[in-house]
Structure formats: C-alpha cells, structure tokens
Chains A and B, each alone.
Chain A
Amino acid sequence: MKNIAETGNKGKGVRSDCYVTLQLTNEGGLNINLESKVKVLYGKNIISLTEKIFKQFGIENANITIEDTGALDFVIAARIEAAIHQLTERDNEYLPEMLKESKYKTTKEKYRFTRLYLPGNSPSLMLNAGIHKPDGIILDLEDSVAPAKKAEARFLVRNALRAVDFYGAERMVRINQIPAGLDDLDYIIPHNVNLILVPKCENPDQIKLLENKISLIKKKHKINDSFWLMPIIESTLGVINAYQIAISSPNIVAMAIGLEDYTADLGAKRTNEGTESFFARCQVVNACRAAGIQPIDSVFSDVSDMEALKQNVLKSKSLGFDGMGCIHPRQIKVIKENYAPDADEIEKAKKIVLAFYDATEKGLGVVSLGSKMIDPPVVKRALSSIDTAINVGKLSKDWRNEVI
C-alpha cells in the first residue's frame, strides 16, 4: 500500500472540485489543512464534514490537505473517501444523503433523443447538467476518465447519483468495457442509476455477465427495480452481432453506435459524408427495430457548428435513428428539435390522430381519413409523433381543443 494518497483535480481552470492529499499517521490526531476560496463562507462546514468522514472510517490519526475550489460536500466526500481507499482496505462507505428528487424511475419507452455525456471525474459539469434538459445524463466512467483516475471517479459518480438533482433527466452511467466494467456496478446499482451504457459491446455474453452481476448486487441490496441497458456497438464484430446483442436481455431499451472506434476497427477514415459507416448504421437501426428497441446514433464532435449538427441529425433521422449523444449542452436543443417531427409531419399526424379519436368515440374498428383507410401502425406512429411534438414543445398539450 502507498504511503500518501492524492485524489481530485487542481490547477488552472479547475472549479467546484478539490484536491486531497492524505497521509495516515500513528499519532497526533487529525491535522486538517484547508486551502479554500470559500473558506470564509464554508470553512467550518468543510472541516466538520472531513472529521465526520474520518470518524466513520475509524481513522484517528492523519494529515489531510484539502485544496478546494468551491467543491460541494458530495465532491469533497468522494475525494476523501477515494484517498482513504488508496491507503487502506476498508469495507465501509460514506454515503451522502440520497436526494428525494433523485429517486425517480424511467420507462422503457421514454424518449432518448438526447443524452449528455459528462466526464465522470469532473464535478463542475455535473451540477448544472440537468438544467439544459437533456433526455438523459451520462456520467461517464469510461473514455473520458484517465486510467489513473478510474478508481476515484467511481466514488464521485456514486455520490453524484445520490446528491445531484438532474431534474428528471434519465440517470445514466457508462461503465467500462466488460469485464472490467463489472466492478463499476457496485458503485451505481444501489444508487438508483436508471440506465447503464455498455461500451464496446461485441457479443451477447457480455450482456449475460452484466446481468448476472446486476442480479447479485440487487440481491445483496434487496433491490427490485429494473435497470435499463444500452449497449454501444463500436466494432465490426459488434455490428455483425448487433441483433443478437439487441435481444440478449429484456432490459435493453436502446442500442447505440459509436463510430470513432468502429471506423478505426474497419480500417477506414471517418468522413463527414459517412459512407464508410453507412452499412453499420443501417445494420444497427435494423437490429434495433427488429428487437423493438430504440436505435441511437453516434455523437457529433464539432460543438461549434450547429448547422452541420442539424444536417447530421436530419440525415440520421432519415436512416431511422431515434436519438444521438451530446458532448455539449448547446447540442441538446438542435438534436431534439430535428429528431422531433417537423411541421408537415405534425399536421399530418394531427389529422390521423383526430380521425382515430373520432373512430374510437363512434366505436368504429377502422380509422379512415377521407376515403382512405388508415392502418394501425400508421396511427401508432402518428400518436407517437404527437407525443414527441408535445414533449419538445412544438405542440401544445391542449392541441385538440385549440384545433376545435
């Protein structure tokens, strides 16, 4: 075991975080050295939190330095706990209180147009993520976290799941690739994660391993909830196995494609036109539709070009995708608006839905519009379009009254 532990972030541009240096000693009690830009306002609070954590872990002697840039309690606690775990083996945890606002569940059918990626070890981005109203928020433990920071990121993500209000966005975590990612589950399953993203998924066995581990944790913590899964297909093998993966668990609600790794695996250059990934995208869309789950497209990496993003979304929608990852909050609105039905689609859907209600009220088994009979799947799609339009604010909830 190491002698000195260091966790967290400091340096230029780091905000709402802290850097903890910990040394366990044999005598002399707890020496807490706090350097904080909010010391005048929260110094006492931070000291008493620190003492409480050490008490819980039964540590009486240590030298702790906290370099704080305005971290909230859940961040400070995660950093300290991660530091303690670097130095000692303790089967103990310090959990911030679970917000009652964080206890919501999501449904399988929920819209997933937009899901915002947040690096799992960067607390400053977590606090306001929900106010940008993505459909989902992904706390990422995988590619956005440096290997040396993976362990401490788990504590931060766990605490964020408990203490940060994401304002109704689906609470998602991207774990590491199976099998390494299985160890991440202990930090998220007991803390009301709604959906788990499974990166670099290549075969149904990975999903089986995942489900087994989830069952064990559920049993241990006496949890009955379902945890939705979203495998991400990022390799040629994954693309070939897409359908088998999609049907490998009833908890899979969506499947995404990740093109950066896929094109590398394919040995092709990733282009804006995307010819090289056309097959893979179609394959994933087809697999998802066949399995009755949502097909989700790869992220668009130029965060400054909203027009290019819009074109990308329209193209993605035309291929059959239902959503896309976001790497910047400003992408949310553009993505949502362009996956959502456009004005023509809404007008058409309104007519069909009105005809459907009319037929239902009259007890007719067949929906017709003018002289045309409307098939049930068309009605279903129209109902879904109307729902979506209301959901993204393109249509008033009261649209039927407004029409009449």
Chain B
Amino acid sequence: MNSKELVKNAIGRMVPTEVNGKTLIPFMGVGKYKPTGRKYAPMIATCADYPSDGNKTVPSLKDALIKAGLKDGMTISTHHHFRNGDLVANQIFQIASEMGIKDLVWFPSASFECHSALIEYLKDGTIHHIEGSMNGSLGRFTSGGNMKGVGVLRSHGGRYQAVQDGDVKIDIAVIAAPTADPFGNANGVNGPAACGLLGFALADSQYADKVIVVTDNLVPFPCIPWQIHGNYVDYVVKVDQVGIHEKIVSGTTEITKSPDRLLLAEMTAKFCEQTGIIHDGFSFQAGAGGTALSIGIYFADILKEKGMKSRWARGGSNKYLVKMLEEGLVEYILDGQTFDLEGVRSMRENPNHVDTSPFTSYNYHSKGNFASMVDVTILGATEVDVNFNANVVTHSDGILLHGIGGWQNCLFSKCTILPIPLFRDRIPVIKDEVTTICGPGELIDVIVTERGIAINPLRKDLIEKMKGSSLPVKTIQELKEEAEKICGVPDKPVFGDKIVAIVKWVDGTVIDIVRNVVN
C-alpha cells in the first residue's frame, strides 16, 4: 500500500482508508464515532429444517464443514477459551487445506502459540488473513510481511462490535465445547476440557450463518447449564479430544516470586489505598499476570485491615480471587474467563461467581457496559509514551507479538493503572512515541514503575490526593529520562512500506497500523 493513500487520524497516526477490500474509518476520538442504522442480522432460520428429535450430530468436523457450505473466501470463527490447549482451530484449516479451499479469513477471539501450525495454511493460501490476534510465531510471521492479506487486530469488545454492526460477517462459527448435547446446547464448566465458560463464542453463536459445536463430552439433552443455546446451532460433532486440559487451565496460578514485580504490586495497592480508590463497595479488575495476581493479595490485606469489602470484581478469575469471594472480601465475581481450576470450580458451584460475555462487559454497541463501571483496572503494556498513549501489540523492536484482548475495553474504567517495570532487559518502557498506539492516553490514568509513579496530568484529583504521599510520584518525562539514563537512548526499528496489520479501536475505527519490520 502506498503511503499517499493514508490519512491522519484523530490521534495523529497515518492510517489507510481501505484494506482487504473493505472501507475503513480513521479513529475520530474516544466516543466520537456513532454509526446509525440497524444491527447486522443473521439469516432467518426455520425450525422445520432441523431434526425434530433435536439430534444435530454429524459424524465428523469435515462433514459439518461441508454441510455448512465451506468455500473459498469464507470467514471462519473460533473462540480462545482453551487458550494454548486448543485442538480444534488447527483442524478446521487442515481440513480446508486438504479440500483445496483458499482465501479464508480466520476470525478467532484470540490466538496462542499452539496456533503457530496455521502458518502452513497462511503460506499455502488456505488462509488469506487473520482478524483477531496474531500472537508469538503468528505475529512474527505477520511482521515479516508474509501474510497474504492485512491482519486486523481487535479488542474483545471490538470483536462483538464488528459482529453486531456487520463489519465482520461470520460464515461458519466453530465452537469447541467442553460439554454439549446433540441439540447443540453447550457449556464450559463440565467435561475433560472444562474451561469455565464460553462467553467469547456467544456472538458467534448468535450471528454466524452456520454454527458448528464440537465436543468431546456429548451428554444426552439437556446440557445444563446451556451457556450456548442449541437453538443457534446447526451441527454437533463428537470428537476424541477438543483441548489439552493442562494447557487450558493451569492447576495453580501463582503469584510472582520476582521481588521487583511484587514491589510494583505493592506500590499499586498502596496507591489505590492512599487515593481512596479502595473503599467499601468498590470494584476492581486485575489481569492474569503474576503482578496483577499479587495486587489482588495486597488488596485483600488492605480490605481485611480496614474491615471493608469489594462489591464486585471482574475476572479472569483465579484461586486468589476465588479465595476473596469465599472469604467474603468480594461479593460477586463477574467473570470473562477462568484462569485456573479453582476458577472453574467456583464458577460451577458458586452462584455469586457469574459468567459474562463481551456483550455485557465490553461491547461498544451495548446500551452501556460493565467496563466503565469498574473503579480500578490494572493492566499491562509493552510501551507507554509521554502522552500516556500505550501499546500492547508490538514490542519496541516493532514486531507484532500480542493481541489486544480486553485491554482497550478495560481502559474505560474509572481509574486505569499500568504497573510496568521501567525497563525490561535494557529496553525502556516509556518512549516519546509508542511503536503502535493501542490505547489513547486520555484513558490511561496512572503508570506505576518500580522507580516512580506517574499520574496523567488530566487526573488533577489523583495528583492532589497524592500530595505528601510517601510513594515516589514523578512526571512521566522524568521516568522516561531516568530509564534512558540507565539503559541509554534506544535506536528506532526500521519499518518497511507494507502495512501488515491494522489496529482497531473499540468502535471499529482505525487507531493505528503495524508495518513490516525490515531489520
């Protein structure tokens, strides 16, 4: 793509107005883009076309894909609740490749290293491009400029938005399910591949033209709970194994042992305490990383000491959050994904541990969502710039390595804190300009590093509250200079002319692009 076809968006990045044959809208600012009209709707189905005995099973995934009308250029969706233990997505494209199908679009809710096998099908033309996330090896492949089409990166909420406003039309949704019945009702709480819930597949079930449920634990009707309703499902396939249990949920998630990360967690928790963010009835969300887990521990200590409790916490859940729920320090967990076996157990047993989907939590086209109601959200980032813009998809060397996940959506919380080390193996985290903007600085309130805390100048209230604090409050510029003094000023990566991926904002507009890496 030639750079003269690019336009400058509201955050100053040059973005294309068309990729993969689709027209794009440049980012206009937070909350500015408001499409009108009616939502996209799937094809009208007629129950007379489906077996009256409710048995929709077909012998194999290949049969199901053929019955679903698999053909060149289709968009195939999968979910990522099996994380790095997914055995289904790769099979779909292996079948498609054997059938000689070309130019498919893979629309996963996220990708993992286990999906690196798909590089083969990206190379042989079975897959044209990926819309979702390109992690690890897939990211490196994409950054090398090797994908036929242009990758599209979306948040979990942005994925729901794209489905609802018709930006992405799913031809076939393949929903791997830990338990299902022949009618297609499915859940994630039971079965050998139990993953807790199937919220990321909800939109797919409702909006795809054809829906295939694949399970290794077929139970007689009814499959209870029915997190996915069989009424949306066309075909059910029984296979030997849908996922590798130990890679789906870890037996145990452990808090970090790294003293530096524990310090970050402790400083973050103290910040929340000193600013009054932690109060009786507050809500919080912390991610899955070791630092985030540790923050939960410090939160629990503070709540206990003060005799307070949290009204609700957002998952991903883990044993530490479950313990808080069971000890009464948290009243409800509203959970998007379960990270360990304790999370799965709690969701199965405890009515206050509730499964959610991107519709309730993150969707731009919902009439409000939970993300903006959270008092404090703790997130990560690969880079932050002096304007608090942050990057989660590329590294400082320019290579695409991560998806957005729920990160963009979570920025809408009342206070977004990024606890990040000031540098990682010599690479400073704070830059003049991030390599890729994934989140606008106006939504990022606080950066906590081991050498100081920077508060966004827009948050005068927080700055005021931290006056006289024993915590080291510095400007983001000071932190940047401190890191560069230690590490040296890094050179910039050299990019090629090719746009290999675009980064969508939660509303579907284009906030930034990723170019191929030359060096």
Contact surface of A with B, Cβ cutoff 8 Å: 15-16, 37-45, 69-73, 127-128, 131-132, 165, 328-330, 393
A-B contacts, 13 of them at CB < 8 A, read A15-B425, A38-B397, A40-B397, A40-B398, A41-B426, A45-B491, A70-B426, A72-B486, A128-B260, A131-B451, A132-B259, A165-B486, A328-B259
Q: How far is the CA of A341 from the CA of B426 in the complex (A)?
A: 40
Q: How far is the CA of A330 from the CA of B491 in the complex (A)?
A: 35
Whether A41 contacts B260 in the complex (CB less than 8 A), given A16-B426, A128-B450, comes out as: no
Q: Once the chains bind, are A42 and B426 in contact (CB under 8 Å)?
A: yes
Report if B74 contacts A (CB, 8 A): no
Q: Once the chains bind, are B491 and A43 in contact (CB under 8 Å)?
A: yes
Whether A127 contacts B486 in the complex (CB less than 8 A), given A40-B491, A40-B493, A41-B397, comes out as: yes
Q: Once the chains bind, are A45 and B488 in contact (CB under 8 Å)?
A: yes
Q: Which residue of B lies closest to A49 (CB)?
A: B488
Q: How far is the CA of A127 from the CA of B259 in the complex (A)?
A: 12
Out of A38, A131, A132, A329, name the residue touching B426 (CB < 8 Å): A38
Given contacts A38-B397, A41-B427, A71-B426, 13 further A-B contacts (CB under 8 A): A37-B425, A38-B425, A38-B427, A40-B397, A40-B493, A41-B426, A42-B426, A45-B488, A72-B426, A72-B486, A127-B486, A131-B451, A329-B260
Q: Once the chains bind, are B426 and A330 in contact (CB under 8 Å)?
A: no
A41 neighbours in B (Cβ, 8 Å): 396-397, 426-427, 490-493
A132 neighbours in B (Cβ, 8 Å): 259, 263
Q: Once the chains bind, are B259 and A393 in contact (CB under 8 Å)?
A: no
Q: How far is the CA of A72 from the CA of B425 in the complex (A)?
A: 9
Q: Which chain B residues in 444-491 approach chain A with CB under 8 Å?
A: 450-451, 470, 486-488, 490-491
Q: How far is the CA of A393 from the CA of B397 in the complex (A)?
A: 42
Interface bracket on B: 20 to 34
B493 neighbours in A (Cβ, 8 Å): 40-41
Report if B376 contacts A (CB, 8 A): no
Whether A329 contacts B396 in the complex (CB less than 8 A), given A16-B425, A40-B519, comes out as: no
Report A77 CB to chain B, min CB distance, Å.
13
Q: How far is the CA of A159 from the CA of B398 in the complex (A)?
A: 32
Q: Once the chains bind, are B425 and A42 in contact (CB under 8 Å)?
A: no
Q: How far is the CA of A16 from the CA of B427 in the complex (A)?
A: 10
Q: How far is the CA of A165 from the CA of B487 in the complex (A)?
A: 12
Q: Which residue of A lies closest to B398 (CB)?
A: A40
A329 neighbours in B (Cβ, 8 Å): 259-260, 263
Report A12 CB to chain B, min CB distance, Å.
14
Q: Once the chains bind, are A330 and B488 in contact (CB under 8 Å)?
A: no
A-B complex: 4 closest residue pairs judged by Cβ atoms: A70-B425, A41-B490, A329-B259, A70-B426
Q: Once the chains bind, are A393 and B470 in contact (CB under 8 Å)?
A: yes
B486 neighbours in A (Cβ, 8 Å): 72, 127, 165
A69 neighbours in B (Cβ, 8 Å): 425
B262 neighbours in A (Cβ, 8 Å): 330
Q: How far is the CA of A73 from the CA of B485 in the complex (A)?
A: 11
Report B472 CB to chain A, min CB distance, Å.
9
Q: How far is the CA of A131 from the CA of B479 in the complex (A)?
A: 14
Out of A42, A127, A128, name the residue touching B491 (CB < 8 Å): A42
Q: Mark interface residues in B396-426 (1 if CB within 8 Å of A CB, else 0).
A: 1110000000000000000000000000111
Q: Which chain B residues in 255-292 approach chain A with CB under 8 Å?
A: 259-260, 262-263
Contact surface of B with A, Cβ cutoff 8 Å: 259-260, 262-263, 396-398, 424-427, 450-451, 470, 486-488, 490-494, 519
Report A381 CB to chain B, min CB distance, Å.
26
Q: How far is the CA of A359 from the CA of B396 in the complex (A)?
A: 64
Q: How far is the CA of A169 from the CA of B214 in the complex (A)?
A: 60
Whether A131 contacts B470 in the complex (CB less than 8 A), given A38-B425, A41-B493, A44-B491, comes out as: no
Q: Once the chains bind, are B260 and A72 in contact (CB under 8 Å)?
A: no
Q: Once the chains bind, are A70 and B427 in contact (CB under 8 Å)?
A: yes
The B interface, classified by DSSP as helix, strand, loop or mixed, is loop
Out of B260, B451, B488, name the residue touching A42 (CB < 8 Å): B488
Q: How far is the CA of A393 from the CA of B471 in the complex (A)?
A: 12
Q: How far is the CA of A71 from the CA of B259 in the complex (A)?
A: 20
Which of B260, B396, B450, B492 lies at the interface centre, i.e. has the most chain A CB atoms within 10 A of its CB? B260
Q: How far is the CA of A328 from the CA of B262 in the complex (A)?
A: 12
Q: How far is the CA of A67 from the CA of B470 in the complex (A)?
A: 41
Q: Which residue of A lies closest to B425 (CB)?
A: A70
Q: How far is the CA of A44 from the CA of B493 in the complex (A)?
A: 12
Which of A38, A41, A69, A128 lies at the interface centre, i.e. has the most chain B CB atoms within 10 A of its CB? A41
A42 neighbours in B (Cβ, 8 Å): 426, 487-488, 490-491
Which of B262, B488, B493 lies at the interface centre, i.e. has the most chain A CB atoms within 10 A of its CB? B488
Q: Which residue of B lies closest to A167 (CB)?
A: B451
Which of B259, B260, B397, B424 lies at the interface centre, i.e. has the most chain A CB atoms within 10 A of its CB? B259
Report B449 CB to chain A, min CB distance, Å.
9
B425 neighbours in A (Cβ, 8 Å): 15-16, 37-38, 69-70
Q: Once the chains bind, are B396 and A330 in contact (CB under 8 Å)?
A: no
Report A280 CB to chain B, min CB distance, Å.
30
Q: How far is the CA of A41 from the CA of B517 in the complex (A)?
A: 13
Q: Which residue of A lies closest to B487 (CB)?
A: A72
B451 neighbours in A (Cβ, 8 Å): 131
Report B140 CB to chain A, min CB distance, Å.
13
Q: Once the chains bind, are B427 and A330 in contact (CB under 8 Å)?
A: no
A16 neighbours in B (Cβ, 8 Å): 425-426
A40 neighbours in B (Cβ, 8 Å): 396-398, 491, 493-494, 519
Q: How far is the CA of A330 from the CA of B492 in the complex (A)?
A: 36
Whether A131 contacts B519 in the complex (CB less than 8 A), given A40-B493, A42-B426, A42-B491, comes out as: no
Q: How far is the CA of A15 from the CA of B470 in the complex (A)?
A: 31
A127 neighbours in B (Cβ, 8 Å): 486
Q: How far is the CA of A165 from the CA of B491 in the complex (A)?
A: 24
A37 neighbours in B (Cβ, 8 Å): 425
B492 neighbours in A (Cβ, 8 Å): 41
Q: How far is the CA of A128 from the CA of B425 in the complex (A)?
A: 12
Q: How far is the CA of A77 from the CA of B260 in the complex (A)?
A: 25
Q: How far is the CA of A37 from the CA of B490 in the complex (A)?
A: 13
Q: How far is the CA of A352 from the CA of B494 in the complex (A)?
A: 68
Q: How far is the CA of A366 from the CA of B427 in the complex (A)?
A: 61
Which of A16, A37, A131 lies at the interface centre, i.e. has the most chain B CB atoms within 10 A of its CB? A131
B450 neighbours in A (Cβ, 8 Å): 128, 131
A165 neighbours in B (Cβ, 8 Å): 486
Out of A73, A328, A393, name the residue touching B488 (CB < 8 Å): A73
Q: Once the chains bind, are B490 and A131 in contact (CB under 8 Å)?
A: no
Q: How far is the CA of A127 from the CA of B260 in the complex (A)?
A: 10
B424 neighbours in A (Cβ, 8 Å): 70
B396 neighbours in A (Cβ, 8 Å): 40-41
Q: How far is the CA of A131 from the CA of B267 in the complex (A)?
A: 12
Q: How far is the CA of A341 from the CA of B263 in the complex (A)?
A: 24
Whether A131 contacts B487 in the complex (CB less than 8 A), given A38-B426, A41-B397, comes out as: no
Q: How far is the CA of A45 from the CA of B492 in the complex (A)?
A: 12
Q: Which residue of A lies closest to B493 (CB)?
A: A40
B427 neighbours in A (Cβ, 8 Å): 38, 41, 70
Q: How far is the CA of A330 from the CA of B398 in the complex (A)?
A: 35
Q: Once the chains bind, are A330 and B259 in contact (CB under 8 Å)?
A: yes
Q: How far is the CA of A40 from the CA of B426 in the complex (A)?
A: 12
Report B41 CB to chain A, min CB distance, Å.
47
Report B435 CB to chain A, min CB distance, Å.
11
Q: How far is the CA of A131 from the CA of B482 in the complex (A)?
A: 13
Which of A38, A45, A165 lies at the interface centre, i.e. has the most chain B CB atoms within 10 A of its CB? A38
Report B161 CB to chain A, min CB distance, Å.
34
Report B293 CB to chain A, min CB distance, Å.
16
Report B373 CB to chain A, min CB distance, Å.
34
A38 neighbours in B (Cβ, 8 Å): 397, 425-427, 490
Report A354 CB to chain B, min CB distance, Å.
25
Report A308 CB to chain B, min CB distance, Å.
17
A73 neighbours in B (Cβ, 8 Å): 488
Q: How far is the CA of A393 from the CA of B470 in the complex (A)?
A: 9
Q: How far is the CA of A328 from the CA of B398 in the complex (A)?
A: 35
Q: Which residue of A lies closest to B518 (CB)?
A: A40
Q: How far is the CA of A79 from the CA of B266 in the complex (A)?
A: 35
Report B261 CB to chain A, min CB distance, Å.
10
Q: How far is the CA of A183 from the CA of B259 in the complex (A)?
A: 33
